[in-house]
Amino acid sequence: MRRVVITGIGLNSPLGNSYEELYKSLKEEKCGIEYVKEWEDIKGLGTKVAGRVKDVDLKAIPRKYRRSMGRVAQLAAVSTAEAIADANLSQELMSSKRCGLAFGSTMGGNETMFEYMPEVKENMSFRGQNSMAFLKMMSHTVAANLAQMFEIRGRNLPTCSACTSSSQGIGAGYESVKYGMSDVMICGGAEEHHYLSAGVFDVMSAASTKHADEPHLSSKPFDESRDGLVVSEGSGAIVLEELEHALARGAKIYGEVVGYGTSCDGAHITTPSKEGMQQVMETSLEDANLQASDIEYINAHATATARGDIAESHATHALFGSITPVSSTKGHMGHLLGGCGVVESVICLLALNKSLLPKTMNFETLDKECALINVLSENVEQDVEIVMSNNFAFGGINTSLIFKKYKKA
């Protein structure tokens, strides 16, 4: 069986713009959520907090490529460039048919949509519209733009499934390598900061509205006093590679992907199903040929909504009981939507390589309706070999990834 390892990482998040910065922020228990003053001007938007990416030079992307990218694709491009450099992939390898992409986002460029649609609709005319608007806002804008910028000529799988966009990207990449369609897959996802994304959750009463004065207290996954999620932005890319291929070129190895499951609740459009969540974790364990007792840390999706956290706690408890350490890192940075799966996967790699099991920020008392799972309220330093990352999206789409520490034979 072909084994799949991670050989490159790039990310841009509210907690930093690299693997090391993310580690430092988690270690120092930093929070990347802040008050967004300009959202005060939007009528009917209750949430005023978000996590944003800072200190990233998007203008460094050559205009030739940047012209068809909204912020979402630009963030993904910067993360991907970092991951490629980190993995030391040659252009010859990247442009071979054995290297592909799997990348997604919830939305295309939101801001472009807001510039383009009203003008066309108001005038019922396309006069004066440039040719780039559609390319910035189409659903697969991230995957399409990355492919042209990095000259990827293998498979290109856009995985646009809202909050599972990037975890499905990693899963699709893992399966592509494992089953021999590719030797290298560059995988991930992204989301850009925009009031449209925040508004979507706000109108469903799922966004946090009570802590504009103390933004760091906004996101409280699993806690009884939580009042909803914080919509943030971020992007990440990881390079997946077949083990022998990676060893042959002397690549650095961050860890191994050993299990993946994806499935759908096939029930309610937004209300998550405990059964669906449990099933996907079981599928991932089966794929990895592991028992639940083999998992030593779980990075939960837990966004701090009432229903999501409860369902996830019950699904997790049904398989893992009350001992396995669980944390949601959305207390630190909010919910990166299309970017969360990949950044949380990187947090799992930090757990494997740096023995850091991050706490759930702002977690004090488990909601009484949650099942009794072991939610970490403090950072734990512990060597772990096998960890799981779970994500769930609107539409009942579920993913579960299992990562294992890589040891030289």
Partner 1 sequence: MARQDEVYNKIKSVLMDEFEVEESDVSMEANLFTDLELDSLDAIDLMVTLDKELGIEIKTEEMQDMRTIEDVCNFVISSIPVNE
Question: How far apart are alpha carbons 169 and 174 in whole angstroms?
Answer: 8
Question: How far apart are alpha carbons 65 and 105 in whole angstroms?
Answer: 18
Q: How many CA atoms lie within 13 A of 99 on its CB side?
A: 20
Nearest approach in angstroms of CB 144 to partner 1 is 14
Q: Judged by CB under 8 A, how many residues of this single chain contact partner 1?
A: 9
Is 64 near partner 1 (CB under 8 A)?
yes
Neighbours of 107 (CB within 10 A): 22
Among 130, 213, 291, 323, binds partner 1 (CB under 8 A): 130
81 or 132: CB nearest partner 1: 132
Is 57 near partner 1 (CB under 8 A)?
no
H or E element: which one contains 235? strand 234-242
* Binding letters toward partner 1, positions 12-51, x by CB under 8 A: ----------------------------------------
131 or 291: CB nearest partner 1: 131
The Cα angle at residue 370 between residues 364 and 375, in degrees rounded to 5: 45
151 or 214: CB nearest partner 1: 151
Active-site residues: which are they?
Answer: 163, 301, 335
Segment contacting partner 1 by CB under 8 A, of 122-130, 143-151, 205-213, 240-248: 122-130
Nearest approach in angstroms of CB 63 to partner 1 is 5
Is 127 near partner 1 (CB under 8 A)?
yes
Among 45, 58, 132, 253, binds partner 1 (CB under 8 A): 132
Across the chain, how many H-helices and E-strands are there? Answer: 14, 15
21 or 111: CB nearest partner 1: 111
43 or 127: CB nearest partner 1: 127
Segment contacting partner 1 by CB under 8 A, of 62-70, 76-84, 180-188, 327-335: 62-70
149 or 348: CB nearest partner 1: 149
Question: How far apart are alpha carbons 150 and 145 in whole angstroms?
Answer: 9
Neighbours of 333 (CB within 10 A): 31
308-327: contacts with partner 1 (CB under 8 A): none
The three-class DSSP label of residue 13 is strand
Is 122 near partner 1 (CB under 8 A)?
no
Among 18, 95, 96, 129, binds partner 1 (CB under 8 A): 129
**Residues 6 or more apart from 79 whose CB is under 8 A from it?**
10, 11, 12, 188, 190, 235, 236, 237
Neighbours of 408 (CB within 10 A): 5
H or E element: which one contains 288? helix 274-288
DSSP letters, 291-350, are -GGG--EEE----S-HHHHHHHHHHHHHHHTTTSEEE-THHHH-B-GGGHHHHHHHHHHH
Is 368 near partner 1 (CB under 8 A)?
no
The binding site for partner 1 (CB under 8 A) comprises 63-64, 67, 127-132
